[in-house]
Structure 1
């Protein structure tokens, strides 16, 4: 038996509770891991509250798609992974099928990456989703090049910070949007070329000024909703507005633009993690950045697994800069 976080109804953090569950043996194409750390993501909040891109199929339901641990058992047909190996699990599956909020978990082998040397469990649970999302959206799909500019909101989130680092590494510029001035210095320290405080500065004016009137080749939007109309005004002619989150909780219109043409599309990390060749390239890119020091997981705070309700309350507060991680003592 292993302690696992389950919820029996939709609702706030309080619906989660730790229960004893039989894990069993991995099936074909699966591995069982001893979970040492879990990366918390907004997707879990949305799934728990019934606002995710897919509904909960049945109760009780589990949570979690990102973490780090050690392989305990390997299922039939799995190659290239061995017991005792330290690994990370990346978001590449439905929370209706697998879940990582547990002391032990069975996951698809295709969602498992070897942890690079020197990357511990907490870092291994915090690094992949942010960088796979930023890399996949901006480079793999978007084709960002040196000299391009990306404007990003929710800039102090783990994905926002990863996008800043990715842009900086390839010679592009990141303009970070933040609601108040409280996070300005932290964002500049992380490598943002400009920080715009949205409650007191005109975003369109500042972006056009920073780009010599050209606008940004990319807008990386975690909020969506009606605000896309304003963000579309800062996109350069033939640029891209990529929506990867829905923090506003409101319907997202297609913006009408007068200054030129733009491509607007959504992006989810599964576009990278569920396609082996894309994941192979992404793993190589992120691992290279980790080795050089250009990339690093930014961990705001850790909680123990039995503090998962408190951890989710903190996640929903939006006060963090970077990633929240739950650790699993053994």
Structure 2
């Protein structure tokens, strides 16, 4: 019998329940996939808490890897027995097996393991569009990266070095500082102990950075904005501390004609051809060893309550996976 983590009401981690579920046959455009590993993402806590709306009762999770068990009518890009990974809606990745839209699946190269795939598909594709699509970064540029020791942060640090970029990263502990440095972060700022904007100005001869990538949100928005050079770009791609405050257009003008964007991964994966390019570049870097995926926490799938508690406490580093 298949099992899944589900919740009937929003709230803390204790609302999550391990339940038996019935998995049917895939319909047109669908596949049935048996999971080998499931990605644990901070966004999962938003659905569970109610910050992101979900129809109740609901499954949870948007990222996993496994083996295709059956395909429905019209599905041609994956076949029964294929290794595959995915990220995206609908919710339900916290399960041993599920039926889902086939369009979400990406065939997984043999050189990449299931746990690695579950730990990197969302984070890796996020890193890919941040560095390869948002802004025309060039070798020699300096970027600011919040949460440099997080799952996205460690990938961005490594990928940025491949592109010849200098990375200024923020972290909350010395342990995380060491981890970020080990993955290519050139300068580490201990936030909130240090003033981020002041340190960035010191490190850039008073100019600031052309792009700041902020995955934390409310608590770091002001500092990230203040770290930009004239006509710089703030990329708000995460809300770990809560959503960013309302944007004051006049503040952007008087601070140097700044730009702010709030991108979503779905909009950089909507075109299958573009998704294939981004995934291909990511898989190539990982399979070759140029980018290492740090899985620093593993939890049993039925231990999702503990996984959410530790994730929300800030005790995790790198990527985390739920294993079956």
The TM-score, its normalising length taken from structure 1, stands at: 0.92
For the pair 1:34 / 2:34, whether they are aligned, the reply is yes
**Distance (Å, rounded) in 2 between the aligned partners of 1:251 and 1:220:** 13
Q: 1:226 Cα deviation (Å)? A: 5.7
- 2:267 is paired with a residue whose SS is helix
SS for the counterpart of 2:27 is coil
Match of 2:281 among 258, 271, 285: 285
The one of 192, 195, 200 aligned to 2:193: 200
CA shift digits 1:46-66 (9 cap, x unpaired) = 0010002xx112x21001111
In the alignment, is the contact (CA less than 8 A) between 2:145 and 2:214 conserved in 1? yes
The alpha-carbon deviation at position 253 of structure 1 amounts to: 3.0
> Structure 2: how far apart are the matches of 1:286 and 1:234?
29
2: CA distance, partners of 1:200 / 1:18 = 40
Indicate the residue corresponding to 1:89 in structure 2. Answer: 86
Structure 1: how far apart are the matches of 2:155 and 2:174? Answer: 20
CA–CA distance in structure 2, aligned partners of residues 200 and 44 of structure 1:
29
Which residue does the alignment assign to 2:97?
A: 104
Q: For the residues of structure 1 that align with 2:115 and 2:288, how far apart are their CA atoms?
A: 19
Partner Cα separation in structure 2 for residue 298 and residue 275 of structure 1: 28
* Partner in structure 2 of residue 16 of structure 1: 16
- Cα distance in 2 between the residues matched to 1:70 and 1:250: 36
Q: How far, CA to CA, are the matches of 1:66 and 1:208 in structure 2?
A: 38
> What are the superposed Cα offsets for residues 132-173 of structure 1, whole Å, 9 maximum, x if unpaired?
112112321223222222211122210111211221111112
Aligned residues: 321
1:99-144 per-residue CA deviation (whole Å, 9 max, x = no partner) reads 1111101222221112122211111111111111121123212232
Conservation of the 8 A alpha-carbon contact between 1:90 and 1:273: no
In 2, are the aligned partners of 1:156 and 1:320 still within 8 Å (CA)?
A: no
| Alpha-carbon shift at residue 182 of structure 1 (Å) | 3.0
Instruction: Name whichever of 194-203 and 234-243 sits farther off.
Output: 194-203
Distance between the aligned counterparts of 2:101 and 2:138, measured in 1? 34
Report what 1:157 is aligned to: 150
User: Structure 2: which 5+ residue stretches go unaligned?
Assistant: none
Q: 1:81 to 1:161 in 2, by over 3 A?
A: same
More displaced, 71-80 or 142-151? 142-151
Please tell me whether the aligned partners of residues 226 and 253 of structure 1 are also in contact (alpha carbons under 8 angstroms).
no
Q: Which runs of 5+ in 1 are unaligned?
A: none
Q: Secondary structure at the residue paired with 2:261?
A: strand
CA distance in 2, matches of 1:144, 1:106: 40
Residue 61 of structure 2 is matched in structure 1 by 64
The 1:17–1:282 alpha-carbon spacing in structure 2 relative to 1, beyond 3 Å, is same
C-alpha contact (below 8 Å) 2:219/2:242 kept by paired residues = no
What are the equivalent positions in structure 2 for 1:35-54 lying under 5 Å apart? 35-52=35-52
Other structure's SS at 2:80 match: coil
Partner of 1:286, secondary structure, is helix
2: CA distance, partners of 1:179 / 1:79: 46
Separation of aligned partners in 1, 2:209 and 2:9:
43
- TM-score of the pair, normalised by structure 2: 0.94
Listed as ranges, the matches of 1:188-227 within 5 Å are 188-225=181-218, 227=220
- 2:149–2:180 CA contact under 8 A, matched in 1: yes
Q: Is contact 2:112–2:287 with CA below 8 Å preserved after alignment?
A: no
Distance, in Å, in 1 between the alignment partners of 2:234 and 2:90 is: 26
| Higher mean C-alpha deviation, range 301-310 or range 33-42 | 301-310
* 2:257 aligned residue: 261
* Match of residue 271, structure 2, among 253, 272, 275: 275
